[in-house]
Structure 1
Amino acid sequence: MSSLPLSDLPGPLPATAAPAPAHSPLSPTHCTRFSRAHLTRHALILLPLLLVGAWAAADWRTFQGGAARLASADPWWLLAGLFFTCMGWAAAACVRQGALPERLPPGLLLASQFAAGAANQVLPASIGAHAVTLRFLQGQGISLARGTASLALYSLVKPIAKTLVLLGFLVAFPDLLHLGELVPDGRTSLLVAVGVAATLGTAGVLAAAVRPLRRPLVCFVRTALTDARALHSRPSRVLALWGGAAATPLLQASVIASVGFALGLPLSWTQVTLALLLAGTAVGAVPAPGGIGPVDAALVFTMVTFGAPTGLAAATVIGYRVLTVWVPLLPGALVLSVLVQRKIL
């Protein structure tokens, strides 16, 4: 029996590459989805910078005029105003923490509020800040119902605390100023009451008539009431919630007063604080990005009523906006982009 040479023996069959399954990481469908997610992530990173750039271009003249006036102001008072501005973000972080039973990481919470300040200048009625905060809370494992309830509690506590601070100032300084020109007439008060009643009535009718809205609304109300009851049984949360909410308008007034003192405004800190509280109470419900516009005009009018020159009062408000909006605008947008890039938001 003759044996075949080794060279004639059949070798192993060549392996044929099997097609990748549809769910494989190398499949075209997966690559397409990955590329879309990658592009979406990059778009979300650049979106804050684009929006802030567009807003800045539209309001560039205000920045130029305010910067020119601040160039000749007292730098030490401006530094004090910048300090109070930074303390305002810390106060906002305290209120956010006080509105939640879970403990949040302090550093990331403060960074999210700094980023929320930039987003708040683009969208009206604090929508930008609430959206950034809600995304941050969901990234920390907070459910949508609880996160939304905390935003509602935050939005409810802030005006109540501001009103209490205003009443406290009016009781403590009854003879400081005459409020006849600042108190709205009966027609204005009636319009405000009708607007609030119409908003609440519309929400109630929608919840009762639209069945898909009923269940999430009931879940939201139940979660909000449960969390509010639990939070007010913890002294630390009560202090953070109400203390931070009461400190916020005082810190804002301190920024305005610092800018005014740097420019030579002939008003005391108490008068500036009352001016801000009255202006915010009068037109604070008007939706505007960051409150810019209606609140500024009311603030100038109130300070003029207290005895400040019109030009100096307007310069003080413009300088206040430069210090609280323009100076932290680009850093806040960069922090917002970094938080999106690291998937914290």
Structure 2
Amino acid sequence: MPESIAPVFRAPQRARAGEDAPSVQIEDTPTARVHHPSDLVGLVLTVLSAAVVMLLAVYAHGTTAGVAADVQGFSSIVRRILVFPVAVLEASIALIAPIAVLTELAVRRLGRQMLEVVAAGVAALVLCAGVLAAVAAFGSDDLVRGLSVWRGGQWTLSIPASLAALAGLLTTAGPRGRRRSVDWSWNLVWVSLGVVLVTGQVSLPGAALALLIGRAGGLTVRYVSGVQSERAYGPALVAGIRRAGFTPARLVRVPEAGSDVDGVGGADGPDESSVAIAADTNNRVYELTTDDGEELSVVVLDGDRQVIGGLSRLWRSLRLRGIEGRSFVSLRQAAERAALLAYAARAAGVRTPALLAVAEAEDSMLLIQARPGHAVALRHLDPADLDDELLRAIWAQLRLAHDAGIAHRALTSDTVLVEPGPLEAGGPGAEPREPLVWLTDWDSGDIASSELARRMDLTQMLALLALRVGATRALESATAVLPDDDIAALGPMLQTIALPHRTREEIRAHREVLADVRSALVERLPEADVEPERLVRFGARTVITVILPVVAVVVVLATINVEQIASALSTSDWRWSVVAFALGLLTFFGAALAFVAFSPVRLAVWNATLVQTAGAFVALAAPAGIGPAALNLRMLTKRGVTTSLAVATVALVQVSQFVVTIALLLVLSIGSGTNEASRFTPSPVTLLIIGVLAGLAASSLLVPAVRQWLVRRTMPTISQTWPRLIEVVGQPRKLALALAGNVLMTMGYVLAFDASLAAFGQELSLVQVALVYLIGNAAGAAVPSPGGIGTIELALIGGLTAAGLNPGVATSVAILFRVLTYWLRIPIGWVAMRTLQRSGEL
């Protein structure tokens, strides 16, 4: 018998008071302790709250001090009411509360929890002492002042450690509703806290920080050690089933997905339909055999597992478009929702296990339902057994649900069950009948669902069937049941983000499946659009493009001397600023010339210039260089250029800009007749590191997998740009126009940077200016931040400092250059974008 399933209960249960019930055979492994996810979530929120309190202590000191002063206005009244000193009251509560809690735990014989409570109090005490020492040693004057209280004629830093220890101890002791001593102790803590605040013994931010520190310590101990499981097991589980109106004779735990099921549940093991219900879910599932021989399934929803499900739903609703948000629901609400979906699906005619009863037991809800015959999960079937009739039956069941407005939202190979055909069901000579298809696990579904949710259902079903019978057969079975409009709408949805977790794992092992489905769809419906629809609101790239600029701006603001920069800007020559701004605008015209030269269709130079200008507005949200390229691609496709040819043209424009820039740098170096680049020459150690890295990169090419990856990454660009390059080379006028445009664009930026230097009375050789500019531009292209914000500024400052400029002046020059060539051009780009949209060019 596997370790995950072992008989641990075999005790008689009572059906009615005073009447012994026959013994119930239970095969289960109860969880003694649980690492509650809500404790981890609470810990994260507590730490964030502590950070907010510290920020308020710094930036809202006036408000917090005013509130504290108003509260302390009652101190004289409180002193008259209190017969004994405040210190005595505080010490009494700090002594009485722990004794009361530990006494109750001792009476309940909860020895381990007593140790945990003491450990939490000590941990909170140590943590508070550490925070107090860190604030005193490293905190700013504003932070120390915000956490201090006026006492004895001076400001005294006050984060009461006793309050933190009490909060940590009571947090670990358990919820107020289950421990009377914990309930009364929290009341005493709040009374004591009010008294010390009114009498001015502690500041308001200091008291709040102490409470949060103590709670963080208590939650840490709770999560690391785990809490006593309050799930329903054994007698409690049986009692819940009896309250639902069933008399159990045998109860067998079904292993979760990935567990070995051989030998579990007697000679034959658990029914595969029950195993399918347990797979890929957070719920426990049991096979129930009643005393009259009826075979049922019991799905157990545990309260401590609802947090993970709620966080998962919240994340998907935030990230995915068209998926409505769901607030966190209680255990009872989750069970009621699952029951509602099951009833609705069955009322719609969908073949799904009938829900027979719902019951509550301990911190669990029980859903008792019929077992779907001898159905087998789709993932356990041999692909040869999936004939066309069976595939159409699967689609028919899903269409029944959609016709009633119900979406499943989590269709996997474990939620689709198939009951065996005639030979298996009735033996040789049995009357033929179509196989029965079941759709299970509707608890993630929607009633009155959106069109997008139903399209996602169809996409999930198409993907999981294509994984088993191939893209062509899966699509043919869908077209036999669904209208062409529904089939055509699946093209933009064929993305891994639209698939459940289990199906995504299967897709990773067969990455060609989705591409095959798209090809089959286009072959079946040539007019169908298979361009992926944007389903996510944000991804990893979006997070990076938001975080990196913020970090870069914070670093710049934290490291530069603002007063020195302001002084430098006030003394700069505004005439050179005007020149730099004009040269920056000239780059739009240069980029337009190169774009017109490489375009496969005739373009007006004015319209092309407007498109490059609009790129300045798009750069506010797109990484450096990406915005103009996207607009160029859009302009070509609007004029009937095929997507592949438009992509090749845009790629050729970007490659030509890079080649011309490097060529210009060489020309300037040779033409200067001096070795002005010597200041940027790396040290011998740097050269050694570069040599080692180059050697490693070269040796990696000896690995076939690396060579294949490099070919896959580079060959598409080469294959796209090479034919266009050959065509342009054969037209000298276009080639000259492209060369002139790229030179004008690159030199426009270099000269604008040089003019920004001149505005501050600084002078560098043209080669040095070009080198610094190119380094900054390359940094902006390497890091995917909008418009290169942060990275370009830091790179320009570093380059100018290396060239010998004062860091403060270098920062002023870099900021002035970016203001003139990026920020001031954004409004002009917006006007150009609006003009192009009104004229239909974009």
- TM-score (norm: length of structure 2): 0.30
Q: CA deviation at 1:67?
A: 8.4
Q: d(CA) in 2 for partners of 1:182 and 1:157?
A: 28
Q: CA deviation at 1:185?
A: 3.1
> Could you list the per-position Cα deviations for residues 143-195 of structure 1 after superposition, in whole angstroms to 9, with x for gaps in the alignment?
21221001111121122211111222223333224245447634346658949
Q: d(CA) in 2 for partners of 1:312 and 1:178?
A: 22
Decide which of 223, 226, 239 is 2:723's aligned counterpart: 226
1:323 aligns to 2:820 (yes or no): yes
Gap change, CA 1:147 and 1:68, over 3 Å in 2: farther
Secondary structure, aligned partner of 1:178 = helix
Decide which of 189, 198, 202 is 2:709's aligned counterpart: 202
Q: d(CA) in 1 for partners of 2:712 and 2:588?
A: 37
Q: d(CA) in 2 for partners of 1:67 and 1:140?
A: 48
Decide which of 187, 209, 212 is 2:689's aligned counterpart: 187
Decide which of 135, 141, 148 is 2:640's aligned counterpart: 141
Q: d(CA) in 2 for partners of 1:285 and 1:200?
A: 23
Gap change, CA 1:239 and 1:200, over 3 Å in 2: farther
> Could you list the per-position Cα deviations for residues 52-71 of structure 1 after superposition, in whole angstroms to 9, with x for gaps in the alignment?
xx99x977998xx7888545
**Preserved contact between residue 647 and residue 720 of structure 2 (Cα < 8 Å):** no
1:167 aligns to 2:669 (yes or no): no
- Find the counterpart in structure 1 of residue 595 from structure 2: 96
Q: d(CA) in 1 for partners of 2:680 and 2:792?
A: 19
Decide which of 157, 178, 192 is 2:678's aligned counterpart: 178
Q: d(CA) in 2 for partners of 1:338 and 1:129?
A: 16
Q: d(CA) in 1 for partners of 2:642 and 2:581?
A: 35
Gap change, CA 1:186 and 1:268, over 3 Å in 2: same
**Preserved contact between residue 74 and residue 263 of structure 1 (Cα < 8 Å):** yes
Q: CA deviation at 1:278?
A: 4.5
Q: CA deviation at 1:291?
A: 3.0
Decide which of 146, 158, 163 is 2:657's aligned counterpart: 158
- Find the counterpart in structure 1 of residue 541 from structure 2: none
Gap change, CA 1:202 and 1:72, over 3 Å in 2: same
- Find the counterpart in structure 1 of residue 754 from structure 2: 257
1:127 aligns to 2:630 (yes or no): no
Q: CA deviation at 1:111?
A: 0.5
Q: CA deviation at 1:201?
A: 4.5
Decide which of 778, 785, 789 is 1:288's aligned counterpart: 785
Q: CA deviation at 1:268?
A: 4.1
Gap change, CA 1:318 and 1:141, over 3 Å in 2: same
**Preserved contact between residue 623 and residue 785 of structure 2 (Cα < 8 Å):** yes
> Could you list the per-position Cα deviations for residues 288-341 of structure 1 after superposition, in whole angstroms to 9, with x for gaps in the alignment?
332333333222222222221111111001001100111111221232133234
**Preserved contact between residue 590 and residue 743 of structure 2 (Cα < 8 Å):** no
Gap change, CA 1:115 and 1:180, over 3 Å in 2: closer
> Could you list the per-position Cα deviations for residues 210-247 of structure 1 after superposition, in whole angstroms to 9, with x for gaps in the alignment?
xxxxxxx5xx8655322211111112211222232233
Gap change, CA 1:303 and 1:207, over 3 Å in 2: closer
Decide which of 722, 726, 734 is 1:237's aligned counterpart: 734
> Could you list the per-position Cα deviations for residues 235-267 of structure 1 after superposition, in whole angstroms to 9, with x for gaps in the alignment?
221122223223322211111111111122243
* Identical amino acids, percent of aligned pairs: 22
Q: d(CA) in 1 for partners of 2:706 and 2:617?
A: 28
**Preserved contact between residue 644 and residue 720 of structure 2 (Cα < 8 Å):** yes
Which stretches in structure 2 are left out of the alignment for 5+ residues?
A: 1-545
> Larger deviation: 313-322 or 136-145?
136-145
Structure with greater strand share of residues? 2
- Find the counterpart in structure 2 of residue 309 from structure 1: 806
**Preserved contact between residue 267 and residue 308 of structure 1 (Cα < 8 Å):** no
Bigger Rg, structure 1 or 2? 2
Q: d(CA) in 2 for partners of 1:138 and 1:267?
A: 44
> Larger deviation: 285-294 or 319-328?
285-294
Amino acid at match of 1:89: F
Q: d(CA) in 2 for partners of 1:165 and 1:182?
A: 22
Q: d(CA) in 1 for partners of 2:806 and 2:713?
A: 49
- Find the counterpart in structure 2 of residue 19 from structure 1: none
Q: CA deviation at 1:207?
A: 10
Q: d(CA) in 1 for partners of 2:833 and 2:570?
A: 29
Gap change, CA 1:87 and 1:93, over 3 Å in 2: same
**Preserved contact between residue 104 and residue 140 of structure 1 (Cα < 8 Å):** no
Q: d(CA) in 1 for partners of 2:585 and 2:706?
A: 35
- Find the counterpart in structure 2 of residue 344 from structure 1: 841
**Preserved contact between residue 611 and residue 631 of structure 2 (Cα < 8 Å):** yes
**Preserved contact between residue 89 and residue 113 of structure 1 (Cα < 8 Å):** yes
Secondary structure, aligned partner of 1:167 = helix
Q: d(CA) in 1 for partners of 2:800 and 2:743?
A: 21
Gap change, CA 1:283 and 1:79, over 3 Å in 2: closer
- Find the counterpart in structure 1 of residue 60 from structure 2: none
Secondary structure, aligned partner of 1:111 = helix
Q: Which has the higher contact order (CA 8 A, sep 6+)?
A: 1
Secondary structure, aligned partner of 2:636 = helix
Amino acid at match of 2:628: A
- TM-score (norm: length of structure 1): 0.69
Gap change, CA 1:130 and 1:191, over 3 Å in 2: farther
Q: d(CA) in 2 for partners of 1:267 and 1:238?
A: 32
**Preserved contact between residue 263 and residue 316 of structure 1 (Cα < 8 Å):** yes
Q: d(CA) in 1 for partners of 2:774 and 2:714?
A: 34
**Preserved contact between residue 120 and residue 128 of structure 1 (Cα < 8 Å):** yes
> Larger deviation: 128-137 or 65-74?
65-74
Gap change, CA 1:160 and 1:79, over 3 Å in 2: same
Gap change, CA 1:282 and 1:130, over 3 Å in 2: closer
- Find the counterpart in structure 2 of residue 12 from structure 1: none
Secondary structure, aligned partner of 1:102 = coil
Gap change, CA 1:67 and 1:107, over 3 Å in 2: farther
Count of residue pairs the alignment pairs up: 279
Secondary structure, aligned partner of 1:185 = helix
Q: d(CA) in 2 for partners of 1:154 and 1:145?
A: 14
- Find the counterpart in structure 2 of residue 106 from structure 1: 605
Structure with greater helix share of residues? 1
Structure 1 ranges of 4+ moved more than 6 A:
57-62, 65-68, 195-200
> Larger deviation: 243-252 or 181-190?
181-190
